[in-house]
Chain A
Amino acid sequence: AQSVTQPDIHITVSEGASLELRCNYSYGATPYLFWYVQSPGQGLQLLLKYFSGDTLVQGIKGFEAEFKRSQSSFNLRKPSVHWSDAAEYFCAVGALAGTASKLTFGTGTRLQVTL
């Protein structure tokens, strides 16, 4: 069975600083990987996804993630954080269950941005 680990429960960065959120996965085959963001009081929104091909994936809002098979990692990065990026971030790994994509989520990393 697949699993996802997000080792950082809470991270605080200053506005304008760079950001890296860690994600490690466990999956027997080629993983399908996702990063979602949840702003306060909102549902989850997809930031980016990796299925195959280029291991550096660009997403919305200036985020990117790099897939590293040797490290079983899919870390999320942003070069310069904005105050509006304060939210909870979830990494997920997907697997086919029939015709549906079944996602297993990590426990999330809450990002706080200081001005």
Chain B
Amino acid sequence: DVKVTQSSRYLVKRTGEKVFLECVQDMDHENMFWYRQDPGLGLRLIYFSYDVKMKEKGDIPEGYSVSREKKERFSLILESASTNQTSMYLCASSSSGTGLDEQYFGPGTRLTVT
């Protein structure tokens, strides 16, 4: 079974702090994704990566950056956390077999910025 793990289930940070959210997948997938999930807005794509050291902006990249130094690990960075970044963050991965393989999701990190 594919496993996508996220470093924390719950996180509380202060405004202005630098925040790292870590995601690891164990299926040698090429593609990895970061989404945020908010009530009434569904999932919105922040960034994705299709290879090590490669990244692409999603629909809402402002205020975020990412890092992918190893194939299995994809980090989301909030350079200076703000209260409007309080949300559920979901990581996902997929292979590049057909280019449209299903995405496998982690359990999510609920981030609260105070």
B100 near A94 with CB under 8 A, answer yes
Minimum Cβ distance to chain A for residue B111 (Å): 15
Chain B contacts for A103, CB-based, 8 A: 43, 45, 103
B48 near A97 with CB under 8 A, answer yes
Chain B facing A: main interface SS: strand
Chain B contacts for A108, CB-based, 8 A: 42
Chain A contacts for B40, CB-based, 8 A: 9, 107
B30 near A97 with CB under 8 A, answer no
Minimum Cβ distance to chain B for residue A104 (Å): 8
Number of interface residues of B (CB under 8 A): 32
Minimum Cβ distance to chain B for residue A44 (Å): 4
- Nearest CB to that of B48 among chain A residues? A100
B30 near A99 with CB under 8 A, answer yes
Number of interface residues of A (CB under 8 A): 28
A43 near B50 with CB under 8 A, answer no
Distance in angstroms between the alpha carbons of A97 and B108 in the assembled complex = 24
Residue among B35, B51, B94, B105 making CB contact with A101, cutoff 8 Å: B94
Chain B contacts to A: CB under 8 angstroms = 4, 30-31, 33, 35, 40-45, 48-51, 56, 58, 90, 92, 94, 96, 98-108
What are 16 A-B pairs at a CB distance below 8 A? Answer: A36-B105, A42-B107, A43-B4, A43-B105, A43-B107, A96-B100, A98-B56, A100-B30, A100-B33, A101-B31, A101-B94, A101-B99, A101-B101, A102-B48, A103-B103, A108-B42
